[in-house]
Amino acid sequence: MDRIHHKLRDGAFRDVLGHTVQQWRRQPARLATVLTAQLAATLADVLMPFYAGRLVDRVAQGTALDATAWDAVLTAFFVGIALIFGATIVRHVGSTALMELTLKMMTDAASDAFQRVQRFSTDWHANNFAGSTMRKITRGLWAIDLLNYTLLTALFPSLAMLIGSAVLLGWHWAVMGLIIACGSIVYLTLTVALSLGYVAPAASLANRWDTKLGGALADAISCNAVVKGFGAETREDDRLARVVAKWRDRTRRTWVRATINATTQSIAILALRTAVVGYALLLWSRGQATAGDIALVLTSFFLLQGYLRDVGLNLRYLQRSVNDLEELVDIQGQPLGAAEDPSARPIRITEGHIEFEKVSFHYGSRQQPLYRDLSVSIQAGERVGLVGPSGSGKTTFVKLIQRLYDVSDGVILIDRQDISRVTQASLRSQIAIVQQEPVLFHRSLAENIAYGRTGASQAEIEQAARLASAHNFIVQLPKGYGTLVGERGVKLSGGERQRVAIARAFLANARILILDEATSSLDSESEALIQSAMERLTLGRTTLVVAHRLSTVRALDRLLVFDRGQIVEQGDHDSLIRLEGGVYSRLIKGQALGSTTDPV
C-alpha cells in the first residue's frame, strides 16, 4: 500500500512540475529574465567572501599610513559594496519579472480552471461539492505563487551558490571544496528524502481533509434553511466537529513531521559547519591559511549555510505548493462531459425539428445501455410530453438534445444538423429551458431575466416579465428590477422564482423549449399564473414537457411514453388512455388513486 501511495505521490509531483513547465514556456522572456537575474545576484554572493578575505588580509598586513595598503583596502571595500549593490539591483529586476510571470500564470490558471469546471458534465457537478471545488482552485492559485518563488528565487540560487562556493573554496584548498561539496550533497539528499518521502504524504492527506472541511461547511451553510426547518443546528455542529477532528489530526501529524524534518536539517548543518570551520582552523594552525583566508572560509560558509538552511525550508514550501496545486492540476486533466470538435460550427435553429436516428446511449461505465437504437421524430412547433416511470429515460432524452452527454451510437439532428458537429454554446443558447427547481444567480432580477439574451433592453426585460406573470410582484419590491434575489434566489418564493425563470425563457425566444414541470409543489394561485404563462410560452415553439404530474399533459399534441429506455407508446392523451393494460393508462390510474406521487 505504501509503495502504491509513493507511486501516486511521484505521479502527482511529475504532473505538477510538468504543468508548471508548460506554463513557463508561455512566457520565455520573463522566465529568462528571472533566471539571469537570480544567477547574477548569486554570483555576486559567491564573490563577496573573496573580497572580504582580501580586505582582512590588507588590513592585517599594512597600516593606514601605507598608501599601497590603503589603496588595496579601498579597492576591496568598494568592490564588495559594488557587488552588494549590483546584486540588489538585479534581484529587483528579477523580482519584478517574477511578479509579472506569476500573475499571468495565476490569471491563466483561474480562467482555465473556471472554463473547464463550467464545461464538466452534470454528473461531475452532482458528485462534487461546489465549496470543495472553489477551495481546490483558490488554494491552487496561491500555490503557483509559492511554487514559482520556491523554484526560481530560492532553490535555483541555492544550487548556484552551492556550486559556486565549492568551486571557489576548492580552488584555494581542494579538500575544503570536497568537504563542502560532499557535505552539501548529503544534506540535500537527507532534506529531499525527509521532505518528499516523509512530510509530503502526510501533507497530501491533510489537504484532502482540508478540502472535505470546505465542502462540509459549504454544504451545511447552503442548506441552512433545511437545518433551521428541522432544528438541526446541534446535529450539524456535531457532524462538522467530526470532520474538523479528522482535519486536526491529519494537520497535526503533518506539522509534527515538519518539525522533525527541520530539527534533523539543523543537526546536519551543524555537522557540516563543524567540519568546515575545523578544517579551516587546522589549515591556519599549519600556516597554510591567513587571517583573510579564515575570513573567506567563514564568510563563504555563513552565506552557504543560509542558502542550505533555506533549501530545507524551501523544499518544505515546494512540497506544500505541490500538495496544494495537485488538485488544481487534476481538474485540468479530467475529461470534459462532451468534448468539443475543433471543427465545430455554430448551429442555426430556424424551425425546431428534432430527430433521433438509431440512438444508443449508456451512462459512464455501465454495461447495460439505457437506449438501444432509439428513433423518433418531433416536428417543428409540436408540443410533446415525456412520461413514464422513474428512471425510464425521460430526463436523459432532453439532456441528450442539449448535448449534456454524447450518444454511444446513432445521431441526433436538429433542423437536419448533427448536434455532435456544432458548438455546444450555440446549441444550448437556442434551447430555452424552465427547470423544475429554477436556479437564479445572486444578481438583480433584471440580470437574471436577461440571462436568456444578453444585451436585452429594459423594455424587453419588462415585457418578458409581463408575459410570465412576474411584472406585478417585481415592481412591488423595494428596488424593483434592481432587487438582488439572494443565493440561488432564496429571497423569492417558489412561484416567484418559477415566473422569473419563465420570463428568462420568454426573452431567450428560442425555437425549442424544454419544460421540466414545476407546479406540483406550488399553491393554487401560483400554479394558475404559471400554467397560464407556460401556455403563452409554448405557442409556436417545439416544446418538450418532462411530465411529473400527468394532469398537465392532457392538452399536448403528443405524448411519448418511456419504459426502460424505450418509447413503448405514443399518441395524444385520449388515444393512450383507451389502451387497456397500457403503461400510460396504468400511470394515470395509479396517480388518480394516489398510489404514487411521482410516477415518472
How does residue 579 score in pLDDT terms, banded at 50, 70 and 90? Answer: confident
| pLDDT at 461 > cutoff 80 | yes
Rounded to 5°, the CA angle 399-404-406 comes to 100
Measure the N-to-C terminal CA separation of the chain; round to a whole number of Å.
46
CATH code of the region 352-430+511-600: 3.40.50.300
96, with CB counted inside 10 A (0-12, 13-18, 19+), is middle
What would the mean pLDDT of 310-314 be, rounded to a whole number?
Answer: 70
If you write DSSP's letter for every residue of 477-501 in order, what string do you get? STTGGG-B--GGGTTS-HHHHHHHH
Kind of pairing between the strands at 566-571 and 431-434: unpaired
Please tell me which of 287-296, 328-337, 457-466 the model is most confident about, judged by mean pLDDT. 457-466
Asked whether 564 and 369 are in contact (CB, 8 A), the reply is no
Give the contacts of 445 (CB within 8 A, at least 6 positions apart): 474, 477, 480, 481, 482, 483, 485, 500
CATH code of the region 2-333: 1.20.1560.10
What is the identity of the amino acid at 307? Y
328 forms bridges with which residues in the sheet? none
What would the mean pLDDT of 19-25 be, rounded to a whole number?
Answer: 86
Record the cell numbers describing residue 537, joined without a space.
410560452
- DSSP letter (8 states) at residue 444: B
What is the identity of the amino acid at 378? I
The whole-number pLDDT of residue 405 equals 86
How does residue 145 score in pLDDT terms, banded at 50, 70 and 90? Answer: confident
Q: Can you say how many angstroms the Cα of residue 351 is from the centroid of all Cα atoms in its chain? A: 39
What are φ and ψ of residue 354, in 5° steps?
-115, 135
How does residue 8 score in pLDDT terms, banded at 50, 70 and 90? Answer: very low
What would the mean pLDDT of 546-574 be, rounded to a whole number?
Answer: 85
Rounded to 5°, the CA angle 398-121-599 comes to 40
The sign of the CA dihedral 376, 378, 384, 390 is positive
The whole-number pLDDT of residue 1 equals 33
How does residue 542 score in pLDDT terms, banded at 50, 70 and 90? Answer: very high
The whole-number pLDDT of residue 133 equals 75
Distance from C-alpha of 188 to C-alpha of 264, rounded to nearest angstrom: 12
What's the pLDDT tens digit per position in 389-407?
A: 888 888 889 989 988 888 8
Rounded to 5°, the CA angle 511-517-521 comes to 150
What are φ and ψ of residue 248, in 5° steps?
-60, -45
How does residue 65 score in pLDDT terms, banded at 50, 70 and 90? Answer: very low
Domain spans of the chain, in order of start: 2-333, 352-430+511-600, 442-509
433 forms bridges with which residues in the sheet? 514
Helices (H), 334-435: 394-401, 424-429
How does residue 5 score in pLDDT terms, banded at 50, 70 and 90? Answer: very low
Q: What is the mean pLDDT of the chain?
A: 78
